[in-house]
Amino acid sequence: MVLRLKVNGTMRSSPAEADTPLLYVLRNDLELNGAKFGCGLAQCGACTVLVDGRATRSCVTPIGTLGESEITTIEGLGTIEKPHPLQRAFVEEQAAQCGYCINGMIMTAKELLDRTPKPTEADVRAALDANLCRCGTHGRIIRAVLKAAELAGRI
Amino acid sequence: MNAMIATRREFTAGIGAIVVAFSIDPKLALTQQAAPLPGSLAQNRMLDAWIRINTDGTATIFPGKVELGQGITTALTQIAAEELDLSLGRVRVLTTDTSYSPNEGVTSGSQSIEYGGTALRLASAEVRGILLDLAAKRFGVSADTLTVADGTIGSRDRRKVGYGELAADLDLHREATAKIAPKLVAAHKIVGKSIQRFDIPKKVTGGIAFVQDIRLPEMVHGRIVRPPRPGSKLDSVDVAAVQAMPGVVAVVRDGSFLGVIAEREEQAIKARQALIESARWTLGPELPDPAKIYDVLLALPAEDTVISNKQAPVPEGATVIEATYRKPYIAHASIGPSCAVAEFKNGEMTVWTHSQGIFPLRNHLSLGLRLPIADIRCIHAEGSGCYGQNGADDVGLDAALLARAVAPRPVRLQWMRDDELWEPYGPAMIMRVKAALADGKIAEWNYDLWSNTHSTRPTEIGGNNLLASWYLANAQNQAPPRTIPQPAGGGDRNAIPLYDFPRQRVVHHFIKEMPLRVSALRTLGAYSNVFAIESFLDELARAAKADPIAFRLAHLKDSRARAAIESVARNANWKDGEAGDGRRGRGIGFAKYKNLSVFVAVIAEVEVDAASGVIKVPRAFAVADAGQIVNPDGLTNQIQGGIIQSTSWTLHEQVRFNRDGITSRDWQGYPILTMQEVPHVAVELIDRPSEKSLGAGEGAQGPAVAAIANAFANATGKRIRELPLTPDRVKAALG
């Protein structure tokens, strides 16, 4: 049985069983590196993608539950040449050390900015509170999200 | 331009020619008469071990130090580009690989700029000099009349030749002399600038950035099964049932080492779960009682070393004060569980690894696999930040054992979250201080610390330090633990105060037996020792009715140390004798890392909620003096990160266990600081272009814990001497 998923605007298929977490399909079948395995328990946020615009932990989301949903990964936001304001702001603020958590930070922030285009620092902190960073890059991540809101406002 | 993750296929297809040309002659390195060379040139003396000039006018550099998310690749490129007179875009960095890179041991201890950077700086300056000589010969002029702009050499009569045109005549297979002086700091155009890191764009766009992202043709997915607790023996497991599960390629059992390989990752995870459920174990020894862990450690035999002893008479009538401080086991707890990709083909084992030391890893892989070192190749690929020895080395052997079972198919193995907590922890420590105060000054200082070793890396000899090797049917033993000698020190790192006390004695009680597995965690013993020394200085200042900053300065001659402390006091607008109000307070912490490296002073502010016992750290000020700065923004990032990570250790972190095993198995069992708790950190850098660059990645953690502990005491008048500063301890302290 082949399951079909709409990822970054394109219909894709996977031979995986319906109970397979979306993360493994994205990484291994669709060769999308952005979403990362961190805990497999929805505790850290490294695997975050958008499902119909909502930040979702792909490590615990079975593909069989996704139906026609629109799935967006960090690859769907932009590229090195044409970055999304969030990606551009994370580069400009050098908001990474190892960078393993950054996918989840950006994807969670994407939902925040979609809902709250001009967030306060407290909004950003609250939105990202369940995304763990171990290198201590938090301050730069907050600055990058606030900067992305500015950049997006200008576009 | 980038640090590439070169698969073997890309490697042979693209740049295979260099394999032959680059060699590090071990006989040369061992030659007694050879003149000593600075930095990592000492062990890797040939210029072509570090640099190649390509015919297209670019340079390729071969660092032996690896990217851990600290930005070292960018900083080393800045150094090479500066000395070669090339723009950054013309310098390529090749990923570290045992088949061609210089052996720079382990990337640790904030030493990459100092050792790897020094080597690249001198080698680059020398290569530039050789290129100038070649051009001079070609033009028939003197080399000192030539100029260089981005790899093009020009003569006074306007003739030009590019590095690429000279590459064919260039023979770098010669020993470095280190006699060509690097540029004067005033001439620097690239070093000292905040260059954006090369690795970040791909990390924010889903590029291939990590070992976890490597995908090879025919690759399969592995998972391993650890026992319920260390030292357990596998009695039985239903291999046949698991082998029949969908997608399973092989179940691997060697003694008590157990793993599974499947076509798909989720199939491997399901098969792992089935193995966990069917495995029957004879349990290893019980763990110590966590409530008595410090007593357990103190009761173990210890080797005592007096690491500082200064004699002077103690004035009569001095006031004697003493205190004991404790620090628990702390985990590296990387966000991404450890991962390796291994491939066993034609008798050669290749392991893609995020190890901090691919050459030492290769040695212990050789022991574990019983393969000659020459048949093993380790290639570095970035992992999630490690902060010391996490599971990076262990997973390399795990993956290799699995790959051998399904050769020649490559195996990608990423640990599950609970596997990651099998890493070696930063050791628990006890610090006891006793001091005498006379006339408001410290007249005598006695300091004792008890600790296990702080390194059980594959650098050790006399055993195998890779976890899986202890569980094989033909089991191997862990190498005997050693201390790291002063002046850098291991458990005793930063145990000797930088302050000037007339009489002092510092004793390192080294405990060989390890109740829990331990190894290097960022700062080694410095976090604990700076916590104890700097907390106790505040206790003494209080007893002497002195301002803590004035009290420190009264005992401190080192001018750079004084400057760091005075600057942070100024930035934080510190008021002499400032007191907390029961809820809010501020404190200071200072250290010169290893007593050899970066100077960092931190003032932290805390807010204490007496009802809940929760401490918040809303802000911190830091001043860092790391000598000559290579990349100011990179340095700032390291200091900010160090303070935030230390805040997490200080407020939250301890590895939890009971007699049955480790109970910290995920983020609920091992909570860390979250976004809403993170302090604002304001960093000032003191640039000293005429001083040598000092490593900074570990400089802030000790000062930060001390500043927070002192701020709590300043706020509440109560002192907590056992980490972490949990709500329970806060409530107990406040009564």
Predicted confidence at residue A155, as pLDDT, reads 62
Give every CB contact of residue B335 below 8 A, 6+ residues apart in sequence: A36, A38, A44, A46, A98, A100, A101, A132, A133, A134, B384, B385
Q: Does B201 touch chain A (CB under 8 A)?
A: yes
Q: Does A82 touch chain B (CB under 8 A)?
A: no
Burial of A68 per CB tally in 10 Å (0-12, 13-18, 19+): exposed
**Chain segment B506-523, per-residue pLDDT in tens:** 999 999 999 999 999 999
Q: Degrees (nearest 5) of the Cα angle B241, B246, B247?
A: 115
CATH level 2 (architecture), domain B429-454+490-734? 2-Layer Sandwich (3.30)
**What CATH number has the domain bearing residue A53?**
3.10.20.30
pLDDT of B4 higher than 80? no
- Helices B701-716 and B632-652 pack at an angle, to 10 degrees, of 50
Contact B417 A41 (CB under 8 A): yes
Model confidence at B29, pLDDT cuts 50, 70, 90, reads very low
Model confidence at B18, pLDDT cuts 50, 70, 90, reads very low
Predicted confidence at residue B110, as pLDDT, reads 75
Q: Which amino acid is at B203?
A: K
Contact A131 B202 (CB under 8 A): no
Residue A59 bridge partners (DSSP): none
Nearest residue of chain A to residue B701 (CA atoms) = A136
Model confidence at B11, pLDDT cuts 50, 70, 90, reads very low
pLDDT of B19 higher than 70? no
pTM here? Answer: 0.94
A35 and A99 fall within a common domain: no
Give the HSE-up count for residue B354: Cα atoms under 13 Å, Cβ half-sphere.
Answer: 32
Q: Which of B206, B643, B668 sits opposite A73 (nearest CB)?
A: B206
**Which of A76, A111, A128 is the endpoint of a domain?**
A76
Distance in angstroms (rounded) separating the CA atoms of residues B1 and B233: 49
Q: Does B640 touch chain A (CB under 8 A)?
A: yes
Chain B interface, mutation test: which of A22, A100, A107, most B Cβ atoms within 10 Å?
Answer: A100
A97 and A131 fall within a common domain: yes
**Chain segment B453-468, per-residue pLDDT in tens:** 999 999 999 999 999 9
Query: Can you say whether residue B518 is alpha, beta or left, with left for phi > 0 and alpha for psi between -120 and 50 degrees?
Result: beta
pLDDT (average), residues B111-135: 94
Give every CB contact of residue B170 below 8 A, 6+ residues apart in sequence: B53, B130, B131, B134
Alpha helices by DSSP H, listed for B466-618, are 526-543, 548-553, 559-571
Q: How many helices (H) and strands (E) does chain A have?
A: 5, 5
Range of the domain at A138: 85-154
Give every CB contact of residue A67 below 8 A, 6+ residues apart in sequence: none
**Which of A76, A105, A128 is the endpoint of a domain?**
A76
Q: Among B313, B265, B299, which residue's Cα sits nearest to residue B502? A: B313
Q: Which of A73, A80, A101 sits opposite B201 (nearest CB)?
A: A80
pLDDT of B24 higher than 50? no
Model confidence at B109, pLDDT cuts 50, 70, 90, reads confident
Q: Which amino acid is at A142?
A: I
Model confidence at B33, pLDDT cuts 50, 70, 90, reads low
Report the mean per-residue pLDDT for chain A: 97
What is the H or E stretch that residue B222 is in? strand B220-225
Q: Do domains B211-283+334-420 and B429-454+490-734 have the same CATH topology?
A: yes
**Chain segment B475-493, per-residue pLDDT in tens:** 999 999 999 999 999 999 9
**Chain segment B258-280, per-residue pLDDT in tens:** 999 999 999 999 999 999 999 99
Contacts with B201 from chain A: Cβ below 8 Å: 80, 83, 91
List chain B domain ranges.
8-203, 211-283+334-420, 429-454+490-734
Ordered per-residue pLDDT tens for chain A, 155 residues: 689 999 999 999 999 999 999 999 999 999 999 999 999 999 999 999 999 999 999 999 999 999 999 999 999 999 999 999 999 999 999 999 999 999 999 999 999 999 999 999 999 999 999 999 999 999 999 999 999 999 998 76
Predicted confidence at residue B5, as pLDDT, reads 37
Nearest residue of chain A to residue B673 (CA atoms) = A132
pLDDT (average), residues B141-159: 97
pLDDT (average), residues B56-84: 93
Residue B730, CA distances (Å) to B396, B577, B679 in order: 42, 24, 19
Q: Does A30 touch chain B (CB under 8 A)?
A: no
pLDDT (average), residues B571-578: 97
Distance in angstroms (rounded) separating the CA atoms of residues B223 and B257: 11
Model confidence at B589, pLDDT cuts 50, 70, 90, reads very high
pLDDT of B176 higher than 70? yes
CATH level 2 (architecture), domain B211-283+334-420? 2-Layer Sandwich (3.30)
Q: Does B126 touch chain A (CB under 8 A)?
A: no
**Chain segment B377-431, per-residue pLDDT in tens:** 999 999 999 999 999 999 999 999 999 999 999 999 999 999 999 999 999 999 9
pLDDT of B10 higher than 60? no
CATH level 2 (architecture), domain B8-203? 2-Layer Sandwich (3.30)
ipTM over 0.90: yes
